[in-house]
Amino acid sequence: MLKIIVPLIVGLLMIIGGCYTIVAAKRYFENVKTEGTDNVFSPLAIYYGFAIGIMMIFVGISAFCVMFS
């Protein structure tokens, strides 16, 4: 029973966290595009926000795959 519940919870949390990270990166990109910023690391923050969000979604999907194997 525990082998089913733990990957399910971890998978759901990772997918939700990944989606939130991508949405937050998109909102930050829109904010930087309209208002601008003096921070030279803003492009890196936007890029890595998208990259980490996608990786979190893949980890969540792989946690679901472990649950069924």
Q: What is the pLDDT of residue 46?
A: 95
Within the chain, how many helices (H) and strands (E) appear? 2, 0
At 30, the amino acid letter reads E
Per-position pLDDT tens, the chain of length 69: 788 888 899 999 999 999 999 999 999 999 999 998 888 999 999 999 999 999 999 999 999 888 777
Q: What is the pLDDT of residue 67?
A: 79
Q: What is the pTM of this model?
A: 0.87
Closest CA to 54 of 42, 62, 65: 62
Q: What is the pLDDT of residue 64?
A: 86
Where do the domains of the chain lie?
2-68
| Helix 2-35 with 42-68: angle, nearest 10 deg | 160
